[in-house]
Amino acid sequence: MFKKGSKLYAIRKSKCPKCHQGNLFKSSLLSGNGIYNMYIKCKECDQDFEMEPGFYWGAMYIGYALFSFYMLGTIALIFFFTDLSLNQSFGITLMGGLLMIPYVARKSRVLWIHIAIRYNKKIADKVAERKAVKINHK
């Protein structure tokens, strides 16, 4: 399911939606260089990552859905499977949630661009071929 070349792999690894090979972000989340430190275009296939101003506003809805799902699910799990009260369950879940905000914000952008742009096998094959040629010439 998370095999290289699959959509889920590209989402998990934050890869370009069109070729599944170029990175969307310049650095990892833990590097401290900002949550939204994205490339303007794909380094491999030249796909534009910000097609129009405000493109990523839509990612807010994805982030809202992901965060709500996490909060409700985790509160229910803690409340029903431990002896903690509802308020304690909420507090623990919220603390975890606050730590997850940068990750959720990034992943919602990744999901949003993967909804907007389709995978293109022809372009992906061209990129893979070009990469193979580069490696052979080293």
Residue number, 22 or 63, with CB nearest to Zn ion: 22
Asked if 111 contacts 59 with a C-beta cutoff of 8 angstroms, the reply is: yes
Residues ≥6 apart with Cβ < 8 Å to 126: 45
Binding span for Zn ion by CB under 5 A among 38-46, 73-81, 104-112, 113-121 = 38-46
- The reply on whether position 47 binds Zn ion by CB under 5 A is yes
Q: Decide if 1 contacts 11 (C-beta within 8 A).
A: no
Per CB under 5 A, does 109 bind Zn ion? Answer: no
Among 11, 44, 110, 111, binds Zn ion (CB under 5 A): 44
Residue given tokens 């623990």 in the structure block: 92
Given the rule CB under 5 A, which residues bind Zn ion?
A: 16, 18-19, 22, 42, 44-45, 47
